[in-house]
Structure 1
Amino acid sequence: MSQNRATVTPIEDRNAWDATVEALGGHPLQLWGWGEVKAAHGWEVERLLVTDPEADLGAGPSTAYGAAEVAYRALPWPLRSLAYVSRGPVGDPARAADVLEAVAAHVKATRGSVALVVEPDWEAGSPGEQRLTGAGFRRTDSTILIPRTLILDLTLSEDELMAAMHRTTRANVRKNLRSELEFRRVATEAELEKILTIYRETAARAGFGIHSDQYYRDIWRFLGDNSPIVAAFDDGEPIAFVWIARSGSTAFELYGGVSPAGQKARANYGVKWAAFTEMKADGCTRYDLNGLLNDGISDFKKQFAQHEDQLTGTWELPLSPFYPVYARAMPLARKAVTRGRRAIKEALPAGRRAVEGAVPAARSLVAKVRSRSGR
């Protein structure tokens, strides 16, 4: 690691932290509220401001050239903990490697974590990658957030965004817009509970794991206005939704779901468009649909544009002499998780009764895995 002269200061004031994230164009997963969600579910969170040694800290957030919200997950002795920066650091990409070097030195000195894992919000091939390699970071395939994604440019006009869709997708969106469906943000806790019901039904139908309802209630509570849920309503009842985390510049899609009635109305098309336009109206300049895999959900996402985006992925910096132990153990743990997920999916076609019996166990397994990985 190079000699990086910097001052690292923990920040304990929410307003000051969020002002820094916004001033430096940060991702919504670096906002205070997202850290509070993780802190409520097994992580310890620290917000670190990075300044030049000569900077006057009393001058406020504008003196910072970088920042990182670091989440720590306890690991068995002697590994101590894993430090993780989700879609960070925040700041000028040209100095991002300097920020991460300073953060890594702080984590090593104060926490003794086995490794620092970072997933920057950078395009693949960014100049920052070379700097990370020079600082000792290693690219790893053990990703938490999927680097292959689709990011819409919300500075385009609505006509341009519509033109980029597949023809049948555009037709479905326009049909929804001409229908009697209402597209708006979820406004009450009672509506939130209905959204959670739709999400549980969607997960059972599609065969993916989810957290407990309390996890999603905590997102609603801790992120507040930075986590809008845009929904399609039919006669006052939600039938499809898109849940977003947003900062000043970036909208990041967290979750989505559709009820059987919503499927029949194809409301998942209109609600996606409503999410795009709502975030555009809020001033966001980019909309990240959050991950593309080789599955039906990803195929649906890809209907809304003719391109894909590849982010830099996951980088890991060893901080402890016990790192080789951690590096050997993690792939084995992830393989076990993959086998468990595959078994759950194979059980799904066995019939409605079998599915309903498997879903609670699937939720429990994957929620535990995601809580360990940070998702």
Structure 2
Amino acid sequence: MSQNHATVTPIDDRSTWDATVEALGGHPLQLWGWGQVKAEHGWQVERLLVADPAADPGSGPEAAMGAAEVAYRFLPWPLRSLAYVSRGPVGDPERAAEVLEAVAAHVKATRGSVALVVEPDWEAGSPGEARLTAAGFHRTDATILIPRTLILDLTRTEDELMAAMHRTTRANVRKNLRSDLEFRRIATEAELEKVLTLYRDTAARAGFGVHDDDYYRDIWRFLGDNSPIVAAFDDGEPIAFVWIARSAATAFELYGGVSPAGQKARANYGVKWAAFTEMKAAGCTRYDLNGLLNDGISDFKKQFAQHEDQLTGTWELPLSPLYPVFAKAMPLARKVVTRARPAAKAAIAGAVPAVRRAVGGALPAARSVVATVRSRGSRSGQ
């Protein structure tokens, strides 16, 4: 990494942090509440403000070079931890490499993490990519958030958004709008519990994994107004929903579900449209449908526009001499940072013997490195 004289300041105040994220046009997964959810479920989280030392300290968050909410996941000894920045850093991509160099130096000095993994909210081919490469980052296929996605431009009119849909999709949306279904945000914890039941049932039918219910309750609790759930109600019962995380600029789809009755009524079409228009009315300028794969759910998402978006993907910076051990022997451990993987804990546990074998079989020169890391780990308590 190049010499970087930027200052890094941990932020411990929620209002200050969120004001910074919003002022710099940040993603909702960089908001305080999202980090708090992660902190309740096995991560350590810190929020780092990066500033040019020449900047006026009283000029407010707009003068910051950037910021990053960093989540740390412990790894088996001697790897210590993995540092992860979800849809960050926040700030101008032109200065992102400087920001991340400063963040990486802080992480290395204070945490000793084996690597820093970042997934910026940039389009593929952004000028920031060349700067990351120059700073020592490399792109990895071990993605956490899916870079192939669909992002709607909410500055377009509702007529323009509707015109971009497939013809049958428009017809289903309009049919919903003429029906007796009610589309609105859920408002009570009792309604939240019904949504969670609906989500579990959807997951069982579709065959995807979910977190325990307390995880979703914590999103509702800690993100608050930044995590609206828009649902379709039939006689007061939710039959389809879309769960969103949102910042001032960006709406990011987290989860969705539909009951058999909702499928029959095509309520999953109307509720998507309700989510788009709700976020547009709230002032968001972009709506990210969060990931496209080759599956039925993605096929459904693609009906709402006639384009796809490719984000820059996942970038990784080695921070430890033991990074080759991590890269070679820890593919399962990487899964602890992915979404809704019920086997994540088992994967981490199963990776421990692989790490021990890799370390035990290393060249003699590597043994001194391991001894050094062991000494650091004992002093730091990590």
TM superposition score normalised by structure 1: 0.90
> Structure 1, residues 92-150: CA drift from partner, whole Å, max 9, x if none?
11111111111001100111000000000000000000000000001000000000000
Partner residue, 2:23 = 23
1:149 lines up with 2:149 in the alignment: yes
The alignment yields a C-alpha RMSD, in angstroms, of 1.9
Contact 2:75–2:333 (CA<8 Å) still a contact in 1? no
Secondary structure at the residue paired with 2:331?
Answer: helix
Counterpart of 2:316, as a letter, is: E
Aligned residue identity for 1:12: D
Aligned to 1:13: 13
Q: Structure 1 regions of 5+ residues with no counterpart? A: 339-361, 371-375
Q: Distance in 1 between matches of 2:73 and 2:333?
A: 15
* CA shift for structure 1 position 5: 1.6
In structure 2, the partner of 1:75 is: 75
Q: CA–CA distance in 2 between the matches of 1:209 and 1:94?
A: 37
State yes or no: 1:267 paired with 2:245.
no
| Partners of 1:165 and 1:304 within 8 A in 2 | yes
Q: Is the CA contact 2:333–2:347 (under 8 Å) kept in the aligned structure 1?
A: no
Measure the CA separation in 1 of the matches of 2:292 and 2:70.
25
Runs of 4+ with >3 A deviation = 56-60, 332-335, 366-370
- Cα 1:323–1:366, aligned 2, differ >3 Å: closer, same or farther? closer
How far off its partner does 1:364 sit? 3.7
Residue-by-residue CA offset, 1:328-350 (whole Å, 9 max, x unaligned): 12335579xx9xxxxxxxxxxxx
- Name structure 2 gaps, 5 residues minimum: 349-382
Q: Please give the per-residue CA displacement for 1:174-207, whole angstroms capped at 9, x wherever unaligned.
A: 0000000000000000000000000000000000
Structure 1 residue identity aligned to 2:331: P
Describe the superposition over 1:57-89 as per-residue Cα deviations: whole angstroms up to 9, x where unpaired: 344323312000000001111111000000000
State the distance in 1 between where 2:55 and 2:16 align: 16
- Structure 2 partner of 1:253: 253
Describe the shift of the 1:252–1:368 C-alpha distance in structure 2 as closer, same or farther (beyond 3 A): farther
1:1-375 map, 5 Å: 1-331=1-331, 364-365=342-343
Q: Secondary structure at the match of 1:109?
A: helix
Question: What secondary structure, in the 3-state scheme, does the structure 1 residue paired with 2:330 have?
Answer: helix
Distance of 2:94 and 2:275 partners within structure 1: 31
CA distance in 1, matches of 2:259, 2:345: 22
Cα deviations by residue, 1:41-68 (Å, 9 ceiling, x for unpaired): 0000000000011234344323312000
Letter in 2 for 1:253: E
Question: What whole-Å deviation, never above 9, does each CA across 1:251-274 have from its counterpart, x for those lacking one?
Answer: 000000001111110100000000
State how far apart, in whole Å, the 1-side matches of 2:221 and 2:346 are.
Answer: 22
User: In structure 2, what residue type is equivalent to 1:109?
Assistant: A
CA spacing shift, 1:274–1:85, aligned 2, 3 Å = same
Give, in whole Å, the separation in 1 of the partners of 2:345 and 2:244. Answer: 20
Letter in 2 for 1:216: Y
Q: Which residue identity does 1:218 align to in structure 2?
A: D
Letter in 2 for 1:265: A
Q: Tell me, in whole angstroms, the C-alpha distance in 2 between the residues paired with 1:34 and 1:368.
A: 24
